[in-house]
Structures are given as structure tokens and as C-alpha cells.
């Protein structure tokens, strides 16, 4: 105890101030490293959720292709825009979508599914087909899962947007150039 008191007495006021500033800077640096880790993990989770939504759109697309094949099985005409749009080349483009592209694809798939289901329900052969019933159920399940995926993505995006604007996280957000994540509707 006496040794500690002697050491404190020998330190000048400037040395004490420098030690305190050093400790504060060390703690700030440590906190910023922690913030960086948190923000990176959050950003990765958002990207995974984004990828999940794209996969669900691909699954919906695949089911619509199978429904279109049922139309061909029963020798029914599908509007030509569906035949052209529901081609395998579109499948590759659904793997990585931006938000704007996803909204466009989602709108198309919604229109296509509504029209195909309408025409399928109007035809007794397709309506009573066991494969159609399975595909219709799968399509509805995908729609439910897509809405859940959107809710999870939006929750994570809102949380991320909050944290990058949190005063203590701003320096690392600025340095790492984190930008607000868009909300999906």
C-alpha cells in the first residue's frame, strides 16, 4: 500500500492525465472493435436473409413452370408471354437480385401465379389433377414463407440501420462505409 502511495506521489499531474487519456482511448478502441464485429455479423445475416428471399422466388418460379407444364399436359393454351417468361434462362437471373429487380420479378411472379391459377381453376381437368393440388399447396406455402422472410429481413435491416446511426457506432460505420439497408415491401 505504501509503495502504491509513493508511486502516485511521484507521478506528475500531466502523467496522470496522459494515463487516463490512454485508458479512455484504449477502451474506445476496444468498443469500436466490438461494434465492428457486431455490425459485420448483422450485415452478413441481412445478406443471408436477402439470399433466402431470392431462393423463395426461384422456388415460386419453378412451381409456376410445373403448373405451365400441366397446361401443356392437358393441351391447353398458355398466354404467350408466360411461355416466353417462364423459360429456364430466367432461373439463372433469380440467383442474385437487387431490391429493385426483386420487386419487378415479384410483381411478375404474382401476376403469373394469379393468372395461371385462375385459368387452372377454370379447367376441370387441371383443377382436379392431383399434381396441380400439390403444386397449388406448395405455391401457397412459398407465399407464406416469403412473407415471413420479408418480415425477418426488414427486422434485421431496421436493427442494422439503427445501430449504424447509434452515436458510439458512427465512427466505425463511417470508416467501414456502412450504408442504410433498404426495407422490402
For residue 53, the tally of other CB atoms under 10 A from its CB is 20
Of the pLDDT bands very low, low, confident and very high (cuts 50, 70, 90), residue 145 is very high
Give counts: helices (H), strands (E), the chain. 8, 0
Helix pair 99-122, 130-165: axis angle to 10 deg: 160
Residue 71 backbone dihedrals phi, psi, to 5 degrees = -60, -45
C-beta separation of 105 from 57 below 8 A: yes
Q: Nine-digit cell at 6?
A: 509513493
Q: Give the separation between CA 154 and CA 162, rounded to whole angstroms.
A: 12
DSSP string, 49-111: HHHHHHHHHHHHHHHHHHHHHHHHHTT----HHHHHHSSHHHHHHTSS--HHHHHHHHHHHHH
For the chain, the domains span 42-175
C-beta separation of 74 from 170 below 8 A: no
C-beta separation of 115 from 68 below 8 A: no
Is pLDDT above 50 for 16? yes
Is pLDDT above 90 for 75? no
The pLDDT tens digits of the residues spanning 94-119 come to 566 777 777 788 888 888 888 888 88
Question: According to the model, what pLDDT value does residue 82 have?
Answer: 63
Lowest mean pLDDT among 7-16, 37-46, 47-56, 175-184: 7-16
C-beta separation of 115 from 12 below 8 A: no
Of the pLDDT bands very low, low, confident and very high (cuts 50, 70, 90), residue 4 is low
- Cell numbers 397449388 correspond to what residue? 136
Is pLDDT above 50 for 88? no
Is pLDDT above 50 for 166? yes
Question: According to the model, what pLDDT value does residue 21 have?
Answer: 95
Which of the two residues, 155 and 86, has the higher pLDDT score?
Answer: 155
Amino acid at each position: 500500500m505504501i509503495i502504491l502511495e509513493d508511486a502516485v506521489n511521484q507521478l506528475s499531474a500531466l502523467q496522470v492525465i496522459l494515463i487516463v487519456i490512454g485508458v479512455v482511448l484504449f477502451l474506445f478502441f476496444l468498443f469500436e472493435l466490438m461494434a465492428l464485429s457486431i455490425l459485420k455479423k448483422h450485415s452478413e445475416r441481412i445478406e443471408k436473409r436477402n439470399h433466402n428471399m431470392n431462393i423463395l422466388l426461384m422456388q415460386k418460379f419453378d412451381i409456376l413452370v410445373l403448373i405451365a407444364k400441366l397446361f401443356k399436359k392437358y393441351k391447353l393454351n398458355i398466354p404467350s408471354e408466360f411461355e416466353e417468361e417462364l423459360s429456364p434462362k430466367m432461373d439463372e437471373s433469380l440467383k442474385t437480385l437487387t431490391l429493385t429487380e426483386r420487386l419487378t420479378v415479384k410483381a411478375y411472379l404474382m401476376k403469373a401465379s394469379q393468372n395461371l391459377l385462375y385459368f387452372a381453376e377454370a379447367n376441370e381437368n387441371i383443377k382436379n389433377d392431383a399434381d396441380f393440388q400439390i403444386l397449388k399447396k406448395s405455391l401457397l406455402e412459398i407465399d407464406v414463407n416469403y412473407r415471413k422472410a420479408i418480415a425477418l429481413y426488414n427486422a434485421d435491416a431496421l436493427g442494422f440501420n439503427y445501430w449504424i446511426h447509434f452515436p458510439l457506432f458512427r465512427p466505425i460505420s463511417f470508416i467501414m462505409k456502412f450504408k442504410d439497408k433498404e426495407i422490402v415491401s
